[in-house]
Copies of this chain bind each other. A is one copy, B any other.
Amino acid sequence: MPRLPAARGAAASAQAQPPLVTIEMVAQAAGVSPSTVSRILNGTAVVSEDKAKAVHGAIERLGYVPSPVARGLAGGRTFSVGAVTQSLDSPFYGAALRGIEIELQQIGYTPLFISGQWNEIDERRSVAVLRARRVDGIILLDARLSDGELLQLAEQLPVVATGRTLSAPRLASLRFDNFQGAVEATQYLLRLGHRRVVFIAGAPDHQDAQERQRGYLHALAVSGIAPDEKLIVAGDYSEASGLRAIDGLLRRGAEFSAIFAANDQMALGAMLGLYRHGIAIPDQVSVVGFDDLQAGHFSIPPLSSVHQPSCEMGQIAARAMAALLGGTRPELQLPVPRLIVRESAAPCRRE
């Protein structure tokens, strides 16, 4: 005897999920087979006009919504893509997540956001969760996993990675030009007449941090300025480290008229440090950051910074995923770095 609907109904009542409109019901209502309904929904085959109309009518009337769960099991595609971010509560990644959401939604996909917390262990676990959920592809924002691991992952399913330069049949990557951004920030300060420009470095294990430092060094070199080691101070991308940087610099009696911080958070921390020491910005010391965080738009004074188009990055990554999912190679056109000039830097008055 076939199991009666009542059996499942009883089980379901514990969870009391709403009564489901199934493909079978619309098939019946439209006078066709479930196969036909499925094909119409998926555009899988050409179907006669009137049948199509009948089916759409039935769908409308019954309020049918296909179950992604069942589609996932049967078709092998879940119409979801995983997105691993380093942090769910970072002022920087949030916009990228929104960008991904916007773009994915447009093609009928659902994003699964999960965080990697800037370490390989969590990241690997997140990828495992995503794969267990059978996502159709995975987007990784600034992954900490090795290139090898990413490449290997891409053999299993489509992958797009930001902050990397990597390519494989099913792997697309995009990387913001941190070097160029840093060059522009530094040159801006140089053009204002500053010669002793402090660089507050980011976490040394972040590639982007390294690139920004190279950019700083390069701009100096182009202007024929020898880098002064005493002006390059370590940081870790946090506000607190920016503040500490200033304390250290001042304690050592370092001379400088400008600061380029590898990110806005450190720039903001540095500004607070300067304020505590009674140093006026930009009158006595100019400050430029990197990222163009919201927090810098209304800081005192508003912070000049290299804009990172993080929402667009998310959108571009998602569109690349869409292409991969569609079986085509994505064309990736990244926005170029642009310095947003606000009020935290002024011409050098010293010397």
Contact = CB atoms under 8 A, between A and B. Distances in A.
Interface of A: 8, 11-12, 14-18, 65-70, 72-73, 76-78, 80, 87-91, 94-95, 97-98, 101, 110-115, 128-129, 131-134, 136, 155-157, 170, 239, 243, 268-269, 271-272, 275, 294-295, 297-302, 311, 327
Contacts of A69: 69, 72-73, 78, 133-134
Contact of A17 (B76, B88, B294, B299): B76
Contact of A76 (B11, B87, B101, B294): B11
15 contacts: A15-B136, A17-B156, A18-B156, A66-B132, A87-B94, A87-B98, A89-B97, A90-B94, A110-B112, A110-B133, A113-B113, A268-B298, A269-B298, A275-B301, A295-B295
A8 B155 CA distance: 18
A67 B12 contact: no
B91 A294 contact: yes
A185 to B, nearest CB: 20
Nearest to A74: B73
A281 to B, nearest CB: 9
B133 A297 contact: no
Question: Quick one: copies of this chain in the complex?
Answer: 2
Contacts of A295: 91, 294-295
A73 B73 contact: yes
A267 to B, nearest CB: 10
A80 B112 CA distance: 11
Given A15-B157, A18-B156, A134-B67, A101 B114 contact: yes
A124 to B, nearest CB: 14
B157 A16 contact: yes
A272 B15 CA distance: 52
Given A72-B69, A133-B68, A89 B78 contact: no
A298 B113 CA distance: 29
Contacts of A275: 300-301
A130 B174 CA distance: 30
A156 B13 CA distance: 10
